[in-house]
Amino acid sequence: MPNNKGSSKNTLSQKAKHETWEWIKAIVIAILIVIPVKLFVLDTMIVPTGSMIPTIMPGDRLFVDQVSWHYNDLKLGDIIVFWTPFIDKSSLAMLGPFDQFMNDLSPDHVNGHVEYVKRLIGVGGDTIKLVPAPGHPYFYNVEVNGKIPNALKDRLYSKVGIFQNKDYYDELAHPQNYIGSPDYQFLLYYNQDMDYTAYYDSVYKKWGNYVTEDASGNITVHVPKGYFFAMGDNTTDSFDSRYWGFVPMGNMIGTPFLRIWPLNRFGVMK
């Protein structure tokens, strides 16, 4: 009787090798498809903080359309995703392995930066100020070019950062010059946590008076051409343009349109 054990083992070994090779090819093909899509068409991000509560919760994973905003004008009040104009060390540390890997593939000019999700408040040429919100003594509505945008009429904001102190961006960039500031420890912490000084020194000084203050102490922010201003919905717990200023339009990624996780919150973004 012929002994087929050896040939059976060889057949099984060849089958295992074939299946392994097929899996490797499938993974490589998936990566070759996913990476270009991720970089140029459809981004995915996980939100690590509560700056957009209740609209977006910590741990939500979003799909972001990177294409449409190039052809359809963004509207004030739109939720947007963008690269920070500075390196944010603490946010980088929050990224999971997949998001860290994709972050490493980002364009050179934002390498080491992270994705933020906020609401668009103003674009180049706009003037922004906070006005008292009727019935809400401690909160404010945002006024853009002399009126409250329809999409922002129900949004309330805290008067902090640049709206409270016209020198705030300079203080954040150079806290050593403002040791007497009541925010000194906050300024020092965030200055060390992000590469803000280099960004500030490279662009802010060329703009001149991007912030003005009237005789009553009301502050107006003037958004420079080619930049935008963004704030979070969770106004008392959002690190946004009130604190660190303007973002280059070249850092815009797109608009989130679908929440894919957690499953009990799966659905189209509004």
| Nearest 10 degrees: Cα torsion 265, 59, 107, 31 | -70
Catalytic one of 5, 7, 106, 118: 118
Residues 6+ apart with CB under 8 A from 232: 51, 52, 118, 119, 238, 239, 240
Cα torsion angle, 167, 173, 175, 176, sign: negative
Are 265 and 47 in contact, with CB atoms under 8 Å apart?
no
**Which residue, among 230, 169, 176, 179, has the nearest Cα to 202 in the 3D structure?**
169
Residue 238: active-site member: no
Are 82 and 115 in contact, with CB atoms under 8 Å apart?
yes
Helix 184-193 vs helix 196-203: crossing angle, to nearest 10: 90
* DSSP H or E segment with residue 103: helix 97-104
Are 254 and 43 in contact, with CB atoms under 8 Å apart?
yes
Catalytic one of 7, 13, 38, 51: 51
Residue 5: active-site member: no
Question: Distances in Å between the alpha carbon of 24 and those of 20, 21, 37, 136, 142?
Answer: 6, 5, 20, 59, 53
Residues found in the chain: 270
Angle 143-123-82 from CA coordinates, rounded to 5°: 115
**Active site residue ranges:** 51, 118
